[in-house]
A and B are shown apart, each in its own frame.
Chain A
Amino acid sequence: TQLLEQSPQFLSIQEGENLTVYCNSSSVFSSLQWYRQEPGEGPVLLVTVVTGGEVKKLKRLTFQFGDARKDSSLHITAAQPGDTGLYLCAGVDTNAGKSTFGDGTTLTVKP
């Protein structure tokens, strides 16, 4: 079983601060996805990273895939209360068409 470890598990910061959350695995994945989940809702895809070393930006969010395709990070610049939520990484098995999810990072951004 491929496992994904996310850190930190919980993060509480003030509006305007920067933060980085991490997703690590001992296994290589074909690609890695980041989802955000708000309370009472299902996860929504933010980004998919495919190539080792790849960096993708989505407004104030920067996603990086490790060179060995085993780890990834999500950096948020100038966090806002609207960024509050559970951030999940998911490693994709393209042979089976299914994903393995990490346990998530719960982010709270206080005004």
Chain B
Amino acid sequence: NAGVTQTPKFRILKIGQSMTLQCAQDMNHNYMYWYRQDPGMGLKLIYYSVGAGITDKGEVPNGYNVSRSTTEDFPLRLELAAPSQTSVYFCASSYYYRGSISGTEAFFGQGTRLTVV
């Protein structure tokens, strides 16, 4: 069982370039999330999705876009990369239904370390 798979693991971008961070999960989870983690800090939610075709903004969505065309995949798009987007990006998924407590365990990928120069 692969769990949550993120690609690439590392990437260096020049200012103004664009890229897509890939995320796939094979656990049939309905919820998926993108977080960024700056050095020595916790996780900030960028976008999340409650199911295929539905996405919503998190705390720090500016400069990013997402789509969720299938249950399995949740790519994150960076347009016009800026140095402030240098960070480690984590994708996560969970199985959740409204009011659930047990269903909120998030399973994380290994992260993508992005540097914008």
The chain A residues found within 8 Å of chain B, CB to CB, are 1, 4, 6, 9, 30-31, 33, 40-45, 48, 50, 88, 90, 92, 94-95, 97-104, 106
Contacting pair B31 A97 (CB below 8 A) = yes
Partner of A98, one of B45, B101, B105: B45
**In whole angstroms, what is the CA distance A100 to B90 when docked?**
14
List the 8 shortest-distance A-B pairs measured between CB atoms, nearest first: A42-B108, A101-B42, A103-B42, A101-B43, A97-B96, A45-B105, A104-B42, A103-B41
Contacts of B35 in A (CB 8 A): 101
Assess whether B101 is in contact with A94, with CB atoms less than 8 Å apart.
Answer: yes
State whether the Cβ of B106 lies closer than 8 Å to any Cβ in chain A: yes
**Closest Cβ–Cβ distance, residue B74 to chain A (whole Å):** 14
B58 CB to closest chain A CB (Å) equals 7
How many chain B residues have a CB neighbour from A under 8 Å? Answer: 30
Q: Are A94 and B100 in contact (CB under 8 A)?
A: yes
Q: Are B110 and A42 in contact (CB under 8 A)?
A: yes
Residue of A nearest to B90 (CB): A42
Chain A residues with Cβ under 8 A from B43's Cβ?
A: 43, 88, 90, 101
Beyond A90-B43, A97-B50, A101-B43, 14 extra complex contacts between A and B, CB < 8 Å: A4-B42, A30-B101, A42-B92, A42-B109, A43-B108, A88-B43, A92-B104, A94-B100, A95-B98, A97-B31, A101-B35, A103-B42, A104-B41, A104-B42
